Amino acid sequence: MTSGDGRPDAGTENARASAGEGLETVDITALAAGGEGVGTLASGKVVFVPRTAPGDRVRVRVERERARWARARLEVLEQPGPERIEPPCPLYDRCGGCQLQHLAYEAQVRWKGRFVADALARIGGVGEHAVEVHPAPRPFEYRTRVRFTLRRLPGGRVVAGFHQLGRPARLVDVDDTCLLPTPALRRAWGEVRAAWGEGARLLPAGRSLELTLREVEEGPVLLVEGGEGPGRPDRILAGAPSLAAVWMRPRGGPAVHAAGAPTITERRGGARLAVGPATFVQVNAEAAAALEDAVVKALGPVDGRRVVDAYAGAGLLARRLAAAGATVVAIEREPDAVRAALAAAPSGLVVAEGSVEERLPGALPADAVVLNPPRAGIAPEVAEALRAAPSPTLVYVSCDPATLARDLERLAATYDIVSVSAYDLFPQTAHVETLAVLTARSD
């Protein structure tokens, strides 16, 4: 057990640990892509230790062991590394929502660049690349969408928050002091927690619910997923004065408006989009705008060119490119996002509903292709289509360095990597967005 600053408590846990029972001293030399510190046990096995930083000397308790690696828990911090800081969140020792609060922000940014470079070299085998990481404008209070899990426990108790560090089946109760949501969402979350009543009786029945708060033009909006029955959304809204609306999505059904403002409007850059409560847009609006600017710059002048925007989401980038004179085919399969992209679509924008695997071959050839897939990366069929009809410019936006590296290896025979950069859309976590710019080979 550790304290809120990521260091072990001086109480019972440390008293037991100080006896040395079952502990091993480890020097932490690096960070793994998931944010754990990396060291070596006396046996020679690599060990991963959450909440440790490069330069730390720690005593750890091994909790899981495999043939070539082990995972351990920090018990005693004997000597802190030079970039370790005191995490400001009092729940950091237990909550799995963040992984890097114990590391100075400048160090977080530098290590995220190494995560990307190491993945490209070791997983993709596509060579060494210097990766510049663009820091987020704000290291805290940046999330415009937050998803909490609520669980009803015996005796009328309710816990609502994030999964516990090292024990994902358990939840850590998170109140309105969480440091990642915007101030408006923090305030709304505190009000909702106070408004749902004893045993969360005003929410739909059921042991577990998913609660998503989203900050949009109308104000904070609550989406309640799962459970049985409608609950009392009107009373939730009345008890949470900063909340603009409540939406419900029962098991297996679509999201329906339940109370408050009937519309949800996202404003990003110069665009206003009518979206559904679950339509995906990046949670860090300021950092996402910088990333989109970089994509547009990488594409160069698009007037008169044909561009495919694969995994287009609500069509924010596609609209911008069409307004600049491009003919854009935006491919998207999520119905709410398709509706948002179609609403008042500018001239030159065609929305192709369906999976990228199905739609991309028919959209090629193109002068440029933008890929922004989910964490799983692109399917083999997508890589095959890109190899069969190469576009002069290919821009790949990735949220997972490992799958990006795999996909760049798939494309290496057809495309050359021009540049790789990264954008920190998720400070305090191990996640990083990567922008890879490729050109088709002329030989």
Active centre residues (catalytic): 399
Neighbours of 365 (CB within 10 A): 12
| Measured distance CA(10)–CA(27) in Å, rounded | 21
| Measured distance CA(84)–CA(363) in Å, rounded | 49
| Measured distance CA(199)–CA(162) in Å, rounded | 18
| Measured distance CA(434)–CA(401) in Å, rounded | 7
DSSP per residue over 257-285, as a string? EEEE-S--EEEETTEEEE--TT----S-H
CA 110 to chain centre: 18
Q: Mapping DSSP to helix (H, G, I), strand (E, B) and coil, where does residue 81 land?
A: coil
Neighbours of 168 (CB within 10 A): 10
Residue 47 near residue 38 (C-beta atoms within 8 A): yes
Structure tokens at 128: 């060494």
- Strand order across the beta sheet in which 46-49 lies: 24-27, 57-65, 69-79, 46-49, 37-40, 30-31
| Measured distance CA(301)–CA(325) in Å, rounded | 9
Q: Strands of 165-270 (E only): list them.
A: 167-173, 208-216, 219-225, 245-249, 256-260, 265-268
Residue 396 near residue 438 (C-beta atoms within 8 A): yes
CA Rg value for the chain: 24
* Secondary structure letter of residue 201 according to DSSP: T
Strand partners, 99: none
Residue 394 near residue 439 (C-beta atoms within 8 A): yes
For helices 401-411 and 105-119, the axis angle rounded to 10 degrees is 30
Element (H, E) at 378: none
Structure tokens at 32: 């793994």
CA 384 to chain centre: 27
| Measured distance CA(249)–CA(192) in Å, rounded | 17
| Measured distance CA(125)–CA(137) in Å, rounded | 32
